[in-house]
Amino acid sequence: MFKSNNVTARIFQRQICTPAPGTSIYSARRFYENIVPSCTIYDVECPDHSFRKFTEDGLYLISFSRNHQDLIVYRPRWPSFSCKEEDCDTHELPPKAKKFEGFFTELYSVSLATSGELICKDFFLYMENNQFGLFATSTAQIHDAPAVGGAVQGVPCVEKITFHLLRMEDGVVLDERVFWSDYVNLAHSMGVFLYDDLLAIVSLRYQRIHILQIRDSGNLVDVRTIGEFCREDDELFLYSSVQSMANPDKSKQLHQMTVNHAANGLHHDRPAGETSFLSGIKQRLLSFIYQGIWNEETDQTLRMQCLKKKFYFHFQDYVDLIIWKVQFLDRHHLLIKFGSVDGGVSRNADNHPAFFAVYNMETTEITAFYQNSTDELYLLFELFCDHFHVSGKNSLYMNFISTHSNNIHNLEQLKSNKNKASSLSQFVKKMLSSLPFSCQSQSPSPYFDQSLFRYDEKLISATDRHRQSTDHPIKFISRRQPNILKFKIKPGPEAGNTDTRSKKISSFLFHPFLPLALSVQQTLFLQPAVVNIHFRR
Amino acid sequence: MGSMLGDWPSFDPMNFSQLRPSDPSSPSRMTPVTYCPTHDRCQPPPNQVIASESRNILLRNMYKRTEDKLRSKRPASEILITDQGLKHPRTSTAESPF
């Protein structure tokens, strides 16, 4: 669209040319080639907090205190200072402008964790249209907890996990949801998925998916719980059938038990081992698999052989599958990843078999079922990756993150990795291991747009993870003007690190639309982090 | 959704009332809501209403694959290739007048 690389010429051209239909955001983004965060303030003096991320609308910077008890929220702003002399551009920034407070104003500090609890500083979800933030606090993990009340053996237990919903404007806690003696994978928000106003929380320990709705008033409302039961009235139906059983004593006993549990206020009130029913979702899954295998053959004998080989032989393995992770595909469909118990809690689940199922919450049917090495699912992933990265309809910037389905450079990289892979099924497994995606885990900053800039993905990328730090600056090279370096991001002190022995990790926080970024370099020991501010002067 | 130019004075009060932004991210670019056929082999049915499919393409594909599997015993890879080769007449596709 733009003929020249000069920013003034581009502005003039923008006045008279309309972009092609549907490309107005991409055309506007080209201006980011001209406005880059090339100036760095090294080792800025800032409060010793763990800076987590910028919210997707760029209004807040979330950070947690070092003792994991408090939340501190800043508002990003631009430094302003005046220079009395004529040629100001060549001057160094005045010392007042080089401070952290010049870029960020503290809005408030809220104590979220009570004694015995710690804030999970890897967990933060933001609801853009209402400016609500979701945080989590938890008590310490109990290993080798006994599997009571329907819990899965082998999954750790946390005595109390609390989700706090805050109004980000003023830090008021609007609602809380507590999970007792449960386990939700809070690291990098993996066990929770936010889509629009729907929240899916996976209780690994009790194998339930809690669907909650965040109302505009700030209340967390239960919508449904998928696991033992699929439909809202399944539980009622089951208990009413149990109570009308032939043996009056037994039904009285069970009735007494349900009354006791109801009095305790527990939701999971069926004692373990009392019933031999598989959970609702497991039944749906097994019947779907059975039907699929049944329909493969028309001949009755071949059909039975097929079933024996593919279904009954693996029956116990299918029954032992547990839900690992969940994401929304739209308001009614969930993508659920199933696997073995060992894989669910280990950090590296690559060697464990995994399966994906698409579940329709309204009809309570399984729509599709794939193993993690199937080409079919990989083909869908390659073609329609954007539809796995669901973002709410209100979130503008999150829809423009570069993926291999919307960006030719990502696709070329993917294809070259595929050709270089020694085994296609290993490659497919590796690609599919990123599914289901964790929500809000990628930065919408245009500086990560692969059509604008080329950068080393091992050192920095849109995904907010800690990376190994290097002393060399990370280069962002223009795509359209090959080999022209646009800007560099260098974490750590300006002169480099004197101590080369200790391992350092860096994390990068990019503002969603301003040319402003923070790089935080820390060692693995409790030394204060080195924070640099990268901005456009 | 109200039209941005719907209330401006004009010679004919019905002018501009049918305009809608064709691209939600740039609301100043308006196109008429009617769609014209790009060929004259057949006329479009009268009073046809074109709306976008509520289910996204990924879920549509998954449902279609499952339905095909439950209906027939064709292997999955064959279904994939056939899908991409065939052109289905869909009422949910909007044809641009330009």
For A107-162, how does the pLDDT look when each residue is reduced to its tens digit (9 = 90+)? 999 999 988 899 999 999 999 989 999 999 999 988 877 878 778 888 889 999 99
pLDDT for the residue A346: 67
Q: What is the pLDDT of residue A460?
A: 92
Q: How far is CA A332 from the centre of its chain?
A: 19
What pLDDT does A248 receive? 55
Token readout for A101 is 């407070």
**Amino acid B55: pLDDT:** 87
| Interchain pair A358, B62: CB under 8 A | yes
* Res B32 pLDDT > 60: no
Collect all residues of chain A within an 8 Å Cβ-Cβ radius of residue B62: 358, 367-368, 380
Q: Of B26, B58, B69, which has the smallest distance from its Cβ to A292's Cβ?
A: B69
Instruction: Give the pLDDT score at A50.
Output: 92
Which residues contact residue A145 at a Cβ distance below 8 angstroms, ignoring those fewer than 6 apart?
A151, A156, A157, A181
Distance CA A160, CA A182 (A): 7
C-alpha radius of gyration, chain A, whole number? 26
pLDDT-based confidence at residue A211 (cuts at 50, 70, 90): very high
User: What is the distance, to the nearest Å, from the Cα of residue B8 to the centroid of all Cα atoms in its chain?
Assistant: 29
Which class for A217: exposed (0-12), middle (13-18), buried (19 or more C-beta within 10 A)?
Answer: exposed
pLDDT at A217: 93
Do A384 and B61 count as a contact with CB atoms less than 8 A apart?
yes
**Residue B27 pLDDT class (50, 70, 90 cuts):** low
For A502, which DSSP code?
S
Query: How far apart (Å, rounded) are the C-alpha atoms in residues A175 and A428?
Result: 41
Q: Which long-range contacts (CB under 8 A, 24 or more apart) does A482-489 make?
A: A486/A33, A486/A36, A486/A38, A486/A453, A487/A36, A487/A37, A487/A38, A487/A534, A488/A38, A489/A37, A489/A40, A489/A460, A489/A517, A489/A519, A489/A534
Average pLDDT over residues A361-371: 92
A308 pLDDT exceeds 70?
A: yes
Residue contact A295–B56, C-beta within 8 A? no
User: pTM of this prediction?
Assistant: 0.83
Q: If you measure CA to CA, which chain B residue comes closest to A22?
A: B23
CB-closest option in A21, A292, A375 to B23: A21
Token readout for A260 is 């006791």
Report yes or no for ipTM above 0.85: no
Strands (E), chain B: 19-21, 30-32
Model confidence at B83: pLDDT above 50: no
CA-based nearest distance A387→chain B, Å: 6
The minimum CA-CA distance between A399 and chain B, rounded to whole Å, is 12
**Which residues have CB under 8 Å from A461's CB, separation 6+?**
A448, A455
Q: Is pLDDT larger for residue B77 or for residue A36?
A: A36
Does residue B89 register a pLDDT over 50? Answer: no
The mean-pLDDT minimum among A122-136, A257-271, A302-316 falls in: A257-271
For chain A, give the mean pLDDT. Answer: 87
Residue of B nearest to A331 (CA): B55
Residue A307 pLDDT greater than 70, yes or no: yes
SS3 state at A417 = helix
Compute the distance between CA of residue A439 and CA of residue A422 in angstroms, rounded to an integer: 31
Mean pLDDT of A17-39: 89
| CA–CA gap between residue A495 and residue A121 (Å, rounded) | 30
pLDDT of residue B16: 62
- Average pLDDT value for residue range A463-479: 89
- Confidence grade of residue A358 (pLDDT, cut at 50, 70, 90): very high
Rounded distance, CA A58 to CA A80, Å? 19
**Does the distance separating the beta carbons of B55 and A330 come in below 8 Å?**
yes
Percent of chain B with pLDDT over 90: 8
Query: pLDDT grade, residue B29 (50/70/90)?
Result: low
DSSP class of A429: H
Measured over the CA atoms of residue A181, residue A184, residue A187 and residue A188, the dihedral's sign is negative
pLDDT, mean of residues A304-321: 90
Q: Is A295 on the interface with B (CB under 8 A)?
A: yes
Tell whether A330 lies on the interface with B, counting CB pairs under 8 A.
yes
Percent of chain A topping pLDDT 70: 92
Q: Does B97 touch chain A (CB under 8 A)?
A: no
Among A65-74, A78-87, A307-316, A353-362, the minimum mean pLDDT is found in: A78-87
Locate A348 and state its tokens: 């590296």
pLDDT at A381: 94
Condensed to tens digits (0 to 9), the pLDDT of residues A404-453 reads 998 999 999 999 999 999 999 899 999 999 989 998 999 999 999 999 99
Own/partner contacts of A73-77, CB < 8 Å, gap of 24 or more, are: A73/A106, A73/A107, A73/A108, A73/A109, A73/A110, A73/A168, A73/A171, A74/A104, A74/A105, A74/A106, A74/A107, A75/A104, A75/A105, A75/A107, A76/A103, A76/A104, A76/A511, A76/A514, A76/A516, A77/A103, A77/A104, A77/A105
Distance from C-alpha of B81 to C-alpha of B65, rounded to nearest angstrom: 11
